[in-house]
Structure 1
């Protein structure tokens, strides 16, 4: 198994475990300090933690591990060594109660292994087999969790990406804009936004077909992405409309960038194929964050949209802000 295991407990616990069992231990933490143990887990990033059962109730350790998000999924197996002299005096239900207690303290599994006296050493081979079986179960669960994360990341990227242009889509803007508004206000920095629209785009589709229209949008997206700054983000808002978020940017700077984009688009024809080249222009409406704007950025978007309408109605191929 390609798996990493971290061993945690007292000196006697760690010594006994390492003498008896062969497991893929990446490190052992000899400590009873919660802070030290959590730090050691974060440093080693194990798949599985094997820990002395006494630490569960004393430190609430498994619960702490599982609520620490950056640790991801860590499978916790609590292990207790019992003394053979006491085992015969135990009530039959005692093991069940101790198992329940460990699970209640957020352990994923609880194992009781024999003590150090030689009279019960014949149990060790069975313990090795049981431990290996639990490690296999833990490994499968960790792998399933990782595959689920990959699937969720993939689905999230699909959900937030525009299939035609490979830009972030409107849903991504609706997710990101409130965060950018919050960031701008928290750090007292400017935030500006532009909505741009391809002028007379309907005539492109009517005269040349939707495949040519789609190619125009792809080429336009490429130009926009390669002519904005690293801190800015372009989104496909819908149809032939795009939104650009200008982070840490006041109105004057955003206007200068918008005018530059307008010029780049109008001065460079779009080569669709060797037989077709089209010249196009864009119109942009610009707005900057104001103290009275809502936290979601709706008013910021609305002002940019109104300014876009002004740009379209006043002749197109221009910026209004």
Structure 2
């Protein structure tokens, strides 16, 4: 079984349980002699299941710590008591066992087991009783590992669905929904670090003519080729999105207005200077227009006003003859 278990408790608890666990399940098993030493291991390795010595107050605290952290809360926590003698009447009292179970569950444990190692007189338990205890322990571990496996599969599915939801199926670029999530984050990062950032909005010139002349399949292929050329000619810190139709947005972190203008100019040249081989029989010459805007103090935290200025400058670039970049609130022009 491809799973990991961490045992946490005193020396006697670990010595008894370690052999028992390894005989019951095929997992990677590690030990931590105290909750204080266990937490760094849990944070670093994130075991599937943690088994803690139940009669320790610090075990309850460790359960709480695990469950309070979102990235660790899925770990299955089992509190286990292995009393070896009749320490008090309470050890054999059903009320006491229920009290221990309630405290364990209230503090975040997923399950609690009481498995005495001797009878009320301190004598060894019958073989059948030990076998049933092992069966119960094995079943509880298997149940916990199933829950963890289901959680991991659900998280993988969610990751895939999130990637699909944030990806444009035609170009495989980030889509507009992804932009709505990423733009506010970059605005916040830019301001917290006192760095510049800019937005570049691009539009394929006369793209409707391509669809009208050659059909939508050719238009789709043209968008794929343009997307690929843009993606492979961006800097590491730039983030490309398909905004919709034949429009694209690029977030330029750590980039001021003049540098953004240079980036837009370079991309216009890269698109316009070399035709696109759509198929064996058709090479299309295409150009793009671009609008640039840079973040300023008056922009809102979501970046909506920043994006709007880039869009306005894109409209100016198209109105001025296309195949060019316009940046800045004052409408600075620069031919591609």
Question: Would you call these one fold, judging by a TM-score over 0.5?
Answer: yes
The question of 1:28 aligning with 2:28 is answered no
Q: Equivalent residue for 2:65?
A: 64
Give, in whole Å, the separation in 2 of the partners of 1:216 and 1:141.
47
1:139 aligns with 2:145: yes
Once the two structures are superposed, what CA deviation does each residue of 1:92-146 show, in whole Å capped at 9, x if it has no partner?
A: 3332232122111111110011135443253322211111000110111011001
Distance in 2 of aligned mates of 1:194 and 1:8: 54
For structure 2, the 5+ residue unaligned runs are 328-336
Residue among 176, 185, 188 paired with 1:170: 176
Question: In the TM superposition, what are the counterparts of 1:231-242 in structure 2 within 5 Å?
Answer: 231-242=237-248
Is the 2:5–2:50 contact (alpha carbons within 8 Å) kept by the matching residues of 1? yes
The 5 A counterparts of 1:1-321 are: 1-21=1-21, 22=23, 23=25, 24=27, 26-33=29-36, 36-56=37-57, 59-71=60-72, 73-85=74-86, 86=88, 90-115=92-117, 117-122=122-127, 123-321=129-327
For 1:257 and 1:303, how far apart are their aligned partners in 2?
17
- For residues 113 and 283 of structure 1, do their structure 2 counterparts lie closer, same or farther at Cα, with a shift above 3 Å needed? same
TM-score (structure 2 length as normaliser): 0.90
- Name the CA distance, whole Å, in 2 between partners of 1:225 and 1:189: 24
C-alpha deviation, 1:15, in angstroms: 1.9
Residues 169-205 of structure 1: CA distance to partner in whole angstroms, max 9, x if unpaired?
0000000000000000000110011111011111111
Contact 2:198–2:292 (Cα < 8 Å) also in 1: yes
Report if the CA contact (8 A) 1:191-1:250 is conserved: yes
Structure 1: tracts of 5 or more residues without a match: none
Contact 2:10–2:33 (CA<8 Å) still a contact in 1? Answer: yes
TM-score calculated relative to the size of structure 1: 0.94
C-alpha separation in 1, matches of 2:272 and 2:257: 22
Per-residue CA distance 1:63-87 (angstroms, 9 max, x = gap): 2112223436210110112355346
Cα contact 1:237–1:243 (8 A) shared by 2: yes
Q: For structure 1, which segment, 79-88 or 209-218, has the greater mean C-alpha deviation from structure 2 after superposition?
A: 79-88
3-state DSSP of counterpart to 1:69:
coil
- Alpha-carbon distance, 1:57 to partner: 6.2
Q: CA deviation at 1:276?
A: 1.2
